[in-house]
Amino acid sequence: MSPSENSLPSESGSETGPFAVDARGVRRVFGDRAVLDGVDLQLRQGDFVALLGPSGTGKTTLLRILAGLDAADGGTVVVPRSRSVVFQEPRLVPARRVWRNVVLGSRHVRRDRDRAVAALDEVGLAGHADAWPVTLSGGEAQRVALARALATEPGLLLLDEPFAALDALTRIRMHDLVGALIRRHNPAVLLVTHDVDEAILLADRILILSDGNIDVDITVDIDEPRRRSDARFQDLRQALLDKLGVGRAARAAALAAIGN
């Protein structure tokens, strides 16, 4: 099978190349519709990239292909051997204590408990190591999922709307926590989100996926800490909303079209 016919992400060579993620010409077809139609995406180690786009444009499909959870119908994908995913739901195993959820699948109990507790300490939950998942709040459960994802020191961290189910205050705390942990562990990160503000607050680059391809790739050139009140934040937010078809310019064009 040639590389272009290989439907699974490649496991070889990405750590020695210039990119942690090197996806070229990626296609994914459902029925007669190409959800992804020749997508190119490159991430270097330490890049934090946010992926925006309307529902149904293939954001999660692309993430699943990078994670090895879905098969591409064409193109080539090279990713690190070690990669982790955090989903919108924590996906903890109710019958396993918190620390065992962090090192799920491993059998080196003593060594793994130490590693799990260290990972939980990073997210402020070392004291919950022996708790059952049912006793955790939504924010705590998602912090456990984040600890599990980072415990393997992944070269690629994939975040699929991980804060969408959290209340506003918990989301703010999670944004701060994720930012700090990413700087410490330095994986390449792809965040799928519908939240434009979240993308600007966290990412170094913002992409918009539309009509099966990436048609916007913007570098976020705003100093840390980023604040919504910053004029540059507001300008970028407005530009992205317009690109997504929900900004002032887009609404004005739609009203003008109706008027005509």
142-163 pLDDT, tens digit per residue, is 999 999 999 999 999 999 999 9
Task: Kindly report whether the global pTM for this prediction surpasses the value 0.75.
Answer: yes
CA dist 151 and 117 (Å) reads 10
| Domain CATH number, residue 170 | 3.40.50.300
Top pLDDT among 218 and 250 is at 218
Mean pLDDT, all residues of the chain:
90
| pLDDT of res. 5 | 35
Residue 88 belongs to a domain:
yes
Burial class for 110, CB neighbours closer than 10 Å (0-12, 13-18, 19+): exposed
Quickly state the pLDDT bin for 106 (edges 50, 70, 90): confident
The tokens for 116 are 């799990």
Segment 182-240, tens digit of pLDDT? 999 999 999 999 999 999 999 999 999 999 999 999 999 999 999 999 999 999 999 99
Residue 152 belongs to a domain:
yes
Total of domains in the chain: 1
Residue 20 belongs to a domain:
no
Q: State which H helix or E strand residue 169 sits in.
A: helix 168-185
- Expressed as residue numbers, the domain containing 169 is 48-70+82-220
5-9, 26-30, 65-69, 212-216: least confident range: 5-9
Residue 148 belongs to a domain:
yes
CA 76-146-187 angle, to 5 degrees, is 45
Residues in the chain: 260
Residue 10 belongs to a domain:
no
Q: How far is CA 16 from the centre of its chain?
A: 23
Q: Residue 198: count other Cβ atoms within 10 Å of its Cβ.
A: 19
Instruction: Give the C-alpha distances (Å, rounded to integers) separating 41 from 55, 85, 153, 243.
Output: 20, 18, 22, 19
User: Using an 8 Å Cβ cutoff, are 139 and 173 in contact?
Assistant: yes
| CB proximity list for 205: less than 8 A, separation 6 or greater | 47, 48, 49, 50, 217, 218, 219, 220
